[in-house]
Structure 1
Amino acid sequence: MTTTWDSTEPPAPPPPFDTRAKLRAARRILPLALFLILCLVLLLLVRLIEAPLCGARRPVSPVFQGLVCRAFFRLSGIGLKITGTPMRHAGALVANHSSWLDIFSLSAAAPVFFVSKAEVRSWPGIGPLARATGTVFINRKRGEARAQQEMFLERLRAGQRLLFFPEGTSTDGKRVLPFKTTLFAAFFAPELRDLTHIQPVSVLYRAPEGAEPRFYGWWGDMEFGAHFLKVFGARRQGGVEVIYHPPLAVSDFPDRKALAAECEARVRGGMPWDWQKNS
């Protein structure tokens, strides 16, 4: 996990991981793990057929991925609410980034292909899942802008909708960091500008009753394993709301900075006022 953002307010101590918490975690994790392993095997089998027949197009696997992620919320007990409508235009979605749970939240709501930093490819556990689900791995360097444009164009021509996190790091879920504009530049290429839309998405986590508001946030140097067990060992679960804002035509904006600023404003506008004051 990146350490480019950390809170000046330390996270609250996790609740005691006592015998009851261990039993709750086991009751949720064991069936979920078996389910995810089975689904990963099925996804790989689907890709064996889908890849030679459809090439870069993936008409089946994203739908399958969405079903798996919706089942994740049922098995974990975390509530999922979807507000607004995912766009049908060609292009990309941009969202705030609070947790590893974002991957499940955004995949459950609509078929998307994530754009991720290259190092995620080698992360234990998450890396293989990312590769299997068609994640686009990139280096966030301006010198590779042309390569990114070509990669995005290939994916968009194949009918894929991309999703990236312009903050560049995850936070505690109480704020929206300034959007980095580098990836927005790719959509201003002549072959993309008039064809694509960008849809801002706000991802809002609500902690379990009585828990700290940042309960689901995963940031700084937090260990994935400890956070995972904290979430699944909770006595009660909270929920997440995925809020889709109206899509924006890239051609309506003069440059990447203007587009990024408007997307940031839309995403920030979907957050409750009492969370915004700390942004």
Structure 2
Amino acid sequence: MSRLRVYARIARVLVVVTLGLSMAGVFGLFERLGIAHSMARRQRWSRFFMARLANALPFRVTVHGELPQQPMLWVSNHVSWTDIPLLGMLTPLSFLSKAEVRTWPVAGWLAAKAGSLFIRRGSGDSQLIRKQMARHLQQAHPLLMFPEGTTTDGRSLRTFHGRLLSAAIDSQVKLQPVAIRYLRGGELDSLAPFIGDDDLLSHLMRLFGDERGDVEIHLLKPIACEGRERAALAFDAQQAVQKALFGAIPEQQQRPMRPAIAA
């Protein structure tokens, strides 16, 4: 692909980012003037921005399943930073993100203005975040988290951690499992994953230097949380995503059903 086309693609993304900065700037100005903006409005504007950013990315997106008609805690596997706009374009929602993102230039500011919740790993603030998540969900604001805690190469799943899934139990909402898969030429995409010591600029150059890839997003059957243990919820969500991405689950990876008990 010509270098000119690569630069044109990157320029398109930069135009969308400029739009996002303008939107976030307006929210920041209103905050200084003491004009409150509801989370629902922030989520709607975030979806507007994410949809345009997703359209600027070199992907063809296919969505399987139905969008939930009520607020849920979304849990998804995590492959790349592009997961965020691709999932964020589907419906108004907020994201649970690692605290480091808040310090990132541009992206961190945009995430904060969009209503993201931030967690510091190993800081002992999980109880506080759990309460913030529960309050968020109780106010009918959908929330998405990546329970693996990091990105993968898309060829396997890491363990889904159930620590923060208690927020769904506390707020009496369901889990919405989501499976996202990147393909290129019918095979798993090796360009889309954003892992290790990769930097964003190099990743963009590789991604935009190739032809369009394909993305499959599977909205799986919601999981009821009432009377469940958080570990059992995490396991069930991981199994659902595993099956959607890789097919039948080996018998040795399954576990016998146990009576559900309250968290």
Question: What's the TM-score, normalizing by structure 2?
Answer: 0.84
Q: Flag the 1:237–1:154 CA change in 2: closer, same or farther, 3 A.
A: same
Please tell me whether residue 33 in structure 1 is matched to residue 14 in structure 2.
Answer: yes
* Match runs of 1:7-46 below 5 Å: 20-46=1-27
Structure 1 residue 74: deviation in Å?
2.9
Q: Flag the 1:36–1:60 CA change in 2: closer, same or farther, 3 A.
A: same
After superposition, the C-alpha distances for 1:238-258 in whole angstroms (9 at most, x for unaligned) are 1212111121121052x1110
After superposition, the C-alpha distances for 1:150-205 in whole angstroms (9 at most, x for unaligned) are 2113212332111110101001111111111221233344xx2xx21111000111
- 1:247 corresponds, among 207, 222, 238, to 222
Please tell me whether residue 261 in structure 1 is matched to residue 238 in structure 2.
Answer: no
Tell me which residue corresponds to 2:257.
Answer: none
- 2:114 corresponds, among 133, 138, 158, to 133
Question: What's the TM-score, normalizing by structure 1?
Answer: 0.79
Tell me which residue corresponds to 1:6.
Answer: none
Please tell me whether residue 73 in structure 1 is matched to residue 54 in structure 2.
Answer: yes
* Match runs of 1:108-127 below 5 Å: 108-127=89-108
Tell me which residue corresponds to 1:4.
Answer: none
Q: Would you say the 8 A contact 2:179–2:218 is kept in 1?
A: yes
Higher relative contact order (CA 8 A, sep 6+): 1
Amino acid at match of 1:229: M
Please tell me whether residue 271 in structure 1 is matched to residue 226 in structure 2.
Answer: no
Structure 1 residue 85: deviation in Å?
1.7
Q: Would you say the 8 A contact 1:197–1:247 is kept in 2?
A: yes
Structure 1 residue 142: deviation in Å?
8.1
Tell me which residue corresponds to 1:232.
Answer: 208
Structure 1 residue 120: deviation in Å?
1.5
Q: Would you say the 8 A contact 2:97–2:118 is kept in 1?
A: yes
Structure 1 residue 59: deviation in Å?
2.6
Tell me which residue corresponds to 2:154.
Answer: 173
Amino acid at match of 1:214: S
Please tell me whether residue 196 in structure 1 is matched to residue 173 in structure 2.
Answer: yes
The CA RMSD over aligned residues, in Å, is: 2.6
Structure 1 residue 226: deviation in Å?
0.6
Structure 1 residue 29: deviation in Å?
1.2
CA distance in structure 2 between the aligned counterparts of 1:248 and 1:212, rounded to whole angstroms: 27
Amino acid at match of 1:239: D
Q: 95-104 or 66-75, which moves further after superposition?
A: 66-75
Amino acid at match of 2:131: E
Unaligned runs of 5+ in 1: 1-19
